[in-house]
Structure 1
C-alpha cells in the first residue's frame, strides 16, 4: 500500500515561522476532528458485536475501518514522513485494502474495538509529537505544503463516509443522532431555470498548486469544450418517480446494452432503499428509519446505469467529467477556475450540504450562496454525481505518493463521480476532486444531473459534449 513512486511537480513549500505554525495548528485540529467523527460512527454508536459484524459483503466490518485509518496514519505520518519506528508492523497486512477484499475481512484476526482504540491513540500521540518538529519548507516531497498530513486527514474522512454507507446497509435500530430532526426547508426560489448554459471555449481543468489535491487531480491542463446546457440542480426524487411511472425501468429503449443487462439480471425497478407502501406510494429507509420519500430532495442510491437511462428518457445525457468541472468552477468573467463553485473560500454551512450535518440531501435548489458562476446549484454536497467519463489519468499524470491510490484503477470498469455528498467532509472535496466506482454501485450516496448539447444559435460552437 505504501510503495513510493517518483515525485511529480508539487506546490510551493509553505515557509516555516508563523505560516508553518498556522499550518501545524490547522493540521492538529483537522486530525482531531476526523478521529472524533470516526469514534462517533463506531465506538460511540454500536456495541462490540455489531462493530465486529459484517453488515454487507460490499463493506468491511466497522472495526476494520477504525483500525485501518490508524494503520494508514502510522505508515504515512509516523514512518514515512517522520522516519519513526513502526508500532505494529505485524498488522500492516491485515489492514491493507489490496490484500484483503471487503467480503473476506470479517474472517481476519482483527483488533477488537478496544485494541483498535488504544492502537489509534498511541499512533496519534506519535503523530502529534512529530508534527511539532515537522518543517514544511524543507523540500521533503511528502511535507511540502503539508501534503502528507492533508492526505491522511482526507483518508480518514473518506473512510468515515464509507462507514456511513455501512450504517445505511446495516439492519437494526437507528443509532445515529439527528435522524429525527425536521427536514431542511425547501429552497425558497421555485422559479429557477431548469438548465443553465455553459458557453463554448477553453478552461483550466485540474490543479497544480492545491496542497490538498491528490495525484489524479493533477496536472492542470486546458480543455476546450463546445457549448452545452446542464441542469441547474440534481435530478429529484419526484423526477425519478416520473421515470418510474412512465415505465422507465421496463423500457429497454432508455438503457445501454450493459445497463439493460444489469437491470434484467438484478430485477431492480427503483433506487436502493426505496419501499413501495401499501397505498402505492413510496417510502425510503434511511439509517434504520423508514420515512416518507421526500419529493424535493435529489435522488440518491442510484447506479450509473439508472442515471444514464433516466437522462436518455428525459431527452438528455449525463455530463462528461470535463463538462461537470467547467460548470462547477470556470468563471467566464475572469477566465479563472475556482477551487469551489462559489470561490476559493473554504466551505461554510451557507455554501453546501457537507460534513454529515443533515444526514440526508437538502432540497434541490438550496444554497444559493454556493452557486457556480454559470448559475448551477449544489455542485458540491448532497449527492455524488455520476458522469459519463471513465476513470483515467490526466495528460502528464504522475503517481504520488503511491500507485495504489489512483493509477491501479485506471482503465478498469470505473466511472467518475463528482461533487461529494452530504456525507463528505469539507476537507475531502473540492471542484477538482475525482471519485470513481463501478457503474453498478448503489450503496454510495450517488445521484446525478443531466446535460445536453446547446442549441446551434447559443453559446458559441455547437455542443457535442463528448
Structure 2
C-alpha cells in the first residue's frame, strides 16, 4: 500500500473510494477487485451506518448523553481509573458502561460499511469489524477462564474475534482476507455480551457487596472483568489511530464525541501560514533543560489498589546519570525544518530498517501531515481522528520511533555536536525522573480521612494549570506548552502524545505472567518492540496511569511523539543509561579475582573451560608494556577505562596513568576501588538468582600503584584537544562504540610521543545504535564496485596516514558472564601501532 499522504487528496478519496463509497451500493463493479470487498453490500438497510447514528438503534448499552462520564452537554469522556479495594456493583457497572459506550461512540465514527471491512492502509492490522467484535469477545473468554462465566455467548464469534495481530516486520502485510460477519450480526453479538456482563456485575456472588465493598486482587475471579475494561480502553486508543489513518470520506465525527483542543480552531489561513512556520511565533522555543542524576524505582506495587497489566509489576531500581531533555516534545514546527531540509531523503539519518521502511512506504513527511499545496511548496494540513485542519505548528509531531531517531541524528549534525552530545530520545527511567510529581498527576495520595490511598488522574483538572491532556479531555493533541511544567521544568510529560523511549519492551525483575491472559506481554519481550510511556490524549484508565508501560514496533504510529535528549556525562556507550546490572557486569570483567573469598568463580568450572578469556583488561595493559614503547615521560593513557582494571595494571609499569571514560558512574566506581572503599557487586547465577561478592584489586596493585592513576570523565572523540602526551595508550573494545571513530583516530597523533605505542583492541561490532552507518570503518560493500570494505584495512590506512606503523597483531578473546551457564565469547583483534 502507498502512504496516505501520497495517494489521498484533501477530501480523502482514492482509487478504491472512488468506486466503493458509503457501503458500495451492493454489487457495483470494481475497477480492480480486492478480496476484502466480498464483505460489502451484505448489510441489510445499510443506511443505518451512513450519516449520524440513531442512538436508539446503534448503542447496545447506555447512550452517551446518559452514560457515566457524560457532561451537561452530553459529551462523554473517561471516568478515572477505579479503586479495586472499594469495588461495589454500582461502581463496577458505571465503569463498564463508560468503557463500553466510549468504544461504541468511537465506532459511530465509521461512515458506511466499507471501513469496517477494508484493511488499513499499511495492511498490518485487522479490519475494524474484527475490533468491533474483539473487545466484547474478550470479556466472555477471560471471564470464562477465571470462572465467573461457564459458557460462551457465541462460540464461533469468540473464536474468530479472539486473537489480534502483532505484525513481525514493517512489510509483513497481513491482508485478513476472510468472509467476516455482517455489522448487524456483530452488533447483535455486542448486545448479547453487554447483557451477560451486566448480569455478572449485578448478580455474580464474586461481586457481592451486601456486606460492604469488595476488594478485587490479581487472584480474584473478577480481575478478569477489570481486565476486560482496560483491554477495551487499549483498543479505544489503537482503533482511533486506525480511524485517523482511514480515508477521510469513510469517517465522520460522532455526536457526543469530545471536541478538538480549542487551539485547533485558532489556526486560520490568515493568521497562521501553512508553510515556513516561525520559531517563537508559530511554535514555542524548545530549550534544553539539565537534569541532575537521580534514582528511580520502576514497577507497580503488587498491592496497589488498581488494575495493572502483568508487565507493570516487579521492581527495578535505576541510577540515572545527568542528562538534558528538551522542555517539551518536538512540535510540528520544529519537525517541519527536518522535513524541509531533506530529512526524508538523507539515508545517513536513518537506521537500516528505518530507511527500508521509509522507502517502502515512500514517506516524505509524517503520515498524518497532508500536502495542501503544490509539490515542493511544503504546505501542510493535519489529519486528526475525523477531520483535516490547518496545521497547528505548536502541537507535538506524530511520528514513529524511526522518524524520531532520524530527527535526532539530523539535529545532532545541524547543531555541530556529533561526538560529545548526540541527541536521542528519552529512556523509561529518565521519563520517570522528569514527569509530574508535585500535583494531581501523581498516581497516589493519602486520603485525609483514612489510611487508604486515592487514585487520581489528569481528568481532575483537564484544562487547568496542573492538568494534562488525558482521558479524552480533548479528542486531539494540544500545544506542547499548554500545561504547567513538572518539578524539573518539563512540559507535557504526561498525556498529549505517547513518548518513544530508547528501551526495548522488557520485563521488570519479579515479572510473572497472569494466568488469565498469559500471552499479553511475554511474546513481545523480543528486542523488537520499543517502549512508549506517558500516555496520549486518547489514553484512559490504566493507560493514563504513571505505571503504564506499553510498546509498539518502531514503525507503528500510536499518537506518539518525543522530546529530544542529550546525555550529559552519560553511561558507557553500550547503554543509554547506567543500570546496576551494567556496572556489576563490568566490575566482574575488570576484577576477576573477586568472588574467590565467597567461593564464586568467574566461570563455572568444567572441562575445556574458557578460563583464558578472563583477565581481559589486564592482558590488554600487559600487551602494551610488552611492545616496549619508548619512554619519554613514562605516562600512559587508558581511553574508555570503564571501571579501571586496565588502568591499575598499567600503573605497575608507568609513572603516571591518565584514565577516562564517558560514564561518570564507571569513573566513580574506579575511584572507589582506588580509595579502598568497599565495592560489592552481584554475580548472576540463574534467572533472578545471584551471589553478592566484594570487588578486589588484582595481585600487585598496591595502594601506591593505584595512587598513580588519575581517573576522570572524558570523551574519546575529543582526544585531539588533550594537552598531555603519552608513551603508551590503550583503547579496549572502544572503537566500534564511538559516534565518530575517525575523529578519535585522527586525534591520536597529537598526543602520542615519538616511539610511543597505541594498542587497539576491538571486535569491529558496528551498530547504528552507537555509530552512524556513514561513520563505520568497514563491514559493508563498496557501493560502486561491490567489493567488501573491511574495518582492519581501513584502520591500517588511517593509522598509517597519521604517522603510525603496525608492529603487532593477534586475536584476543574475552568472556563476559551473563549467568553461571551462559557467557559471551568475543574475539577482538588486538593491534599495536608505533608512532614514527
Tell me, yes or no, whether TM beats 0.5: yes
Give the aligned partner of residue 405 of structure 2. Answer: 308
Determine which structure has the larger strand proportion and give its number. Answer: 2
Give the aligned partner of residue 143 of structure 1. Answer: 220
Tell me: CA distance 1:125–1:140, structure 2 relative to 1, closer, same or farther (3 Å): same
Q: Which of 380, 396, 402 is the equivalent residue of 1:298?
A: 396
Per-residue CA distance 1:279-303 (angstroms, 9 max, x = gap): 4422233345433221111001x11
Give the aligned partner of residue 243 of structure 1. Answer: 338
- For 1:74, what is the secondary structure of its paired residue? helix
Q: Is the contact made by 2:338 and 2:410 (CA closer than 8 Å) also made in structure 1?
A: yes
Higher Cα Rg: structure 1 or 2?
2
The separation in 2 between residues aligned to 1:324 and 1:141, in whole angstroms, is 27
The separation in 2 between residues aligned to 1:432 and 1:183, in whole angstroms, is 30
Aligned pairs (5 A) from 1:449-464: 449-454=563-568, 462=664
1:324 and 2:431 equivalent? yes
Q: What 5-or-longer segments of structure 2 have no aligned partner?
A: 1-82, 208-212, 268-279, 413-422, 446-453, 571-662, 667-769, 771-836
Give the aligned partner of residue 112 of structure 1. Answer: 182
Range with bigger deviation, 233-242 or 391-400: 391-400
Q: What 5-or-longer segments of structure 1 have no aligned partner?
A: 1-12
The separation in 2 between residues aligned to 1:180 and 1:362, in whole angstroms, is 8
Q: Which of 380, 396, 411 is the equivalent residue of 2:526?
A: 411
Tell me: CA distance 1:61–1:261, structure 2 relative to 1, closer, same or farther (3 Å): closer
The separation in 1 between residues aligned to 2:354 and 2:513, in whole angstroms, is 32
- For 1:153, what is the secondary structure of its paired residue? helix
The separation in 2 between residues aligned to 1:31 and 1:105, in whole angstroms, is 32
Range with bigger deviation, 116-125 or 256-265: 256-265
The separation in 2 between residues aligned to 1:304 and 1:199, in whole angstroms, is 26
Per-residue CA distance 1:102-128 (angstroms, 9 max, x = gap): 966754443322222222222222222
- For 2:156, what is the secondary structure of its paired residue? helix
Tell me: CA distance 1:142–1:201, structure 2 relative to 1, closer, same or farther (3 Å): same
Q: Is the contact made by 1:361 and 1:382 (CA closer than 8 Å) also made in structure 2?
A: yes
Tell me: CA distance 1:80–1:88, structure 2 relative to 1, closer, same or farther (3 Å): farther
Give the aligned partner of residue 457 of structure 2. Answer: 346
The separation in 2 between residues aligned to 1:306 and 1:44, in whole angstroms, is 29
Give the aligned partner of residue 253 of structure 2. Answer: 176
Q: Is the contact made by 2:261 and 2:476 (CA closer than 8 Å) also made in structure 1?
A: no
Q: Give me the CA root mean square deviation.
A: 3.5
The separation in 2 between residues aligned to 1:99 and 1:257, in whole angstroms, is 24
1:374 and 2:444 equivalent? no
Aligned pairs (5 A) from 1:83-122: 83-97=149-163, 106-122=176-192
- For 2:434, what is the secondary structure of its paired residue? helix
The separation in 2 between residues aligned to 1:215 and 1:288, in whole angstroms, is 33
Residue 164 of structure 1: how far off its partner (Å): 1.2
Per-residue CA distance 1:415-442 (angstroms, 9 max, x = gap): 1111222222244322221121111223
- For 1:110, what is the secondary structure of its paired residue? coil
1:267 and 2:381 equivalent? no
Q: Is the contact made by 1:453 and 1:463 (CA closer than 8 Å) also made in structure 2?
A: no
Q: Which of 108, 116, 120 is the equivalent residue of 1:51?
A: 116
Residue 158 of structure 1: how far off its partner (Å): 1.2
Per-residue CA distance 1:357-389 (angstroms, 9 max, x = gap): 433210011121xx4332322122221111111
The separation in 1 between residues aligned to 2:166 and 2:536, in whole angstroms, is 27
- For 1:166, what is the secondary structure of its paired residue? helix
Per-residue CA distance 1:217-244 (angstroms, 9 max, x = gap): 1113311111212222110001001122
Aligned pairs (5 A) from 1:346-365: 346-348=457-459, 349-350=462-463, 351-365=467-481
> How many corresponding residue pairs?
434
Residue 453 of structure 1: how far off its partner (Å): 1.8
Range with bigger deviation, 41-50 or 81-90: 41-50
The separation in 1 between residues aligned to 2:390 and 2:233, in whole angstroms, is 29
Q: Which of 491, 513, 524 is the equivalent residue of 1:399?
A: 513
Q: Is the contact made by 1:78 and 1:130 (CA closer than 8 Å) also made in structure 2?
A: no
- For 2:87, what is the secondary structure of its paired residue? helix
Q: Which of 142, 159, 169 is the equivalent residue of 1:76?
A: 142
Give the aligned partner of residue 131 of structure 1. Answer: 201
The separation in 1 between residues aligned to 2:94 and 2:427, in whole angstroms, is 36
1:447 and 2:561 equivalent? yes
Aligned pairs (5 A) from 1:215-226: 215-226=310-321
The separation in 2 between residues aligned to 1:329 and 1:43, in whole angstroms, is 35
Tell me: CA distance 1:387–1:100, structure 2 relative to 1, closer, same or farther (3 Å): closer
Per-residue CA distance 1:294-339 (angstroms, 9 max, x = gap): 1111001x111110121232231111122122322567x9xxx942
Tell me: CA distance 1:355–1:463, structure 2 relative to 1, closer, same or farther (3 Å): farther
